[in-house]
Amino acid sequence: MKKLFIIVLSLFLFSGTAFSAMIIKLGVVTKPGSAQNIVSEKFKELIEQRSKGEIQVKIFHSSSIGTETEILQQIQMGAVQMGVITGGPFDTFDPIVRVINYPFIFKDNDQADKILDGPLGDEILKSLESSGFKGLCFSENGFRNLTNNKTAVKTPEDIKGLKIRVMSSALHNEIWKALGANPTPMPWPIYTELEQGVIDGQENPLWVMEVYKFYEIQKYMTLTRHVYSPHIDVASLKWWQTLKPEQQEMIQKSMKDAAVFQRNDNRLKDADRIKLLKEKGMQIEANPDIDAFRAKVLNLKNIDLYKEPKVQALLLKMLD
Ligand code: EAX
């Protein structure tokens, strides 16, 4: 009897030591307090709780495992399992992402949610599978606004010749060329380049100006809202296919809940950000000549970057 007990006990202990939590490595390029980090931390909290600790998340932030492009490459290989990545650098991996980065395609948050949470969003997420990603959902970076340290900007004329940092994306480069700027693609982060005057300006959602203290080094901001920048919350398809259906479901649901939480959080905080940035000394142009900006980018849909039939078709559907 004693022997049996020992056998049973050792079997139990063995299976106990054989059990180990699954660790998900998740990469973001931003620092704690940033939009990407808020989604990631919420996801970590939800999945660890819902899986009762069987699934754990290790967040690699502040570019500690590379730029967004490098994180995506590691996700493709399965070396990193998940990422919360801005639309910009993603479009080199799948040109369909250019559809959501099209300037002025979303007029407000509600429309962005409706489209990205609906069939068009699903079509984009599904498309990512052909480049090795399981697209889970969209959280948000937000509507992007222009800042610079040279001049107040109200119309595209004011932008002429300004050296503007853009994300590592051929499309974003084209957008700023069309607007008359001198765009310079570079990966995140960019504080030092702005501080040293290597670039005159940049464009990002309001939270970035606050969290990264751009008010210290950028005098002018224009509420251009030229691109609505979602984050694409992705997993490695290679890894995803090794998961049990119930794990997939739990991860999918937790990430979607985290995304909805973060979008609301960002929008709630936006209300106070303009005030804060003004107090910090930024000069803000709240009513730029948006029609003039829009006119400058009207023909972008005809550029080669939108040529692929699948991409062209989806863009036209969205512009409809
Ligand atoms: O969220 O590279 C960028 O401009 C992104 O918006 C950055 O990740 C900040």
> What pLDDT, on the 0 to 100 scale, is given for residue 320?
85
pLDDT for the residue numbered 17: 45
Tokens 């056998």 — which residue? 7
Q: How far is the CA of 244 from the centre of ligand 1 (A)?
A: 33
The answer for residues whose C-beta is within 8 angstroms of residue 126's C-beta and 6 or more apart is 135
Query: Cα separation of 21 and 14, whole Å?
Result: 15
Buried b (16+ CB within 10 A) or exposed e, 262-301: bbebbeeebeebbeebeeeebebbeebbeeebeebbeebe
Enter the pTM of the model. 0.93
Query: Which ligand 1 atom is the nearest neighbour of the CA of 167?
Result: 2
Q: What pLDDT does residue 4 have? A: 59
Centroid of ligand 1 to alpha carbon of 127 (angstroms):
23
**CA of residue 50 to ligand 1 center, whole Å:** 30
Distance, in Å, from the CA atom of 173 to the CA atom of 186, rounded to the nearest integer, reads 10
* Cα(87) to centroid(ligand 1), Å: 9
Q: Is 169 within 8 Å of 100 (Cβ atoms)?
A: no
Nearest CA to ligand 1 atom 2: 188
What is the model's pLDDT at position 52?
A: 97
Q: If the chain, 320 residues long, is cut into consecutive pieces of 10 residues, what is the mean pLDDT of each piece? A: 55 54 98 98 98 98 98 98 94 96 96 97 97 98 98 98 96 97 97 98 98 98 98 98 98 98 97 96 98 96 96 93
CA-CA-CA-CA dihedral for 36, 42, 43, 46, to nearest 10: 180
Number of residues that this document lists for the chain: 320
Pocket residue to mutate for ligand 1, from 63, 72, 85, 141, most atoms within 8 A of Cβ? 141
Q: d(Cα 315, Cα 310) in Å, to the nearest integer?
A: 9
Please give the pLDDT value at position 87. 87
Q: What is the number of the ligand 1 atom nearest to the C-alpha of 202?
A: 4
Ligand 1 site residues, Cβ closer than 6 angstroms? 29-30, 86, 141, 167, 188, 204, 208, 229
Q: How far apart are CA 280 and CA 274, in angstroms?
A: 10
Per the DSSP assignment, residues forming a β-bridge with 133 are 236
CA of 194 to the centre of ligand 1 (A): 14
Q: Which among 88, 106, 45 is positioned nearest to 261, based on CA atoms?
A: 45
Ligand 1 centre and the CA of 204: distance in Å? 7
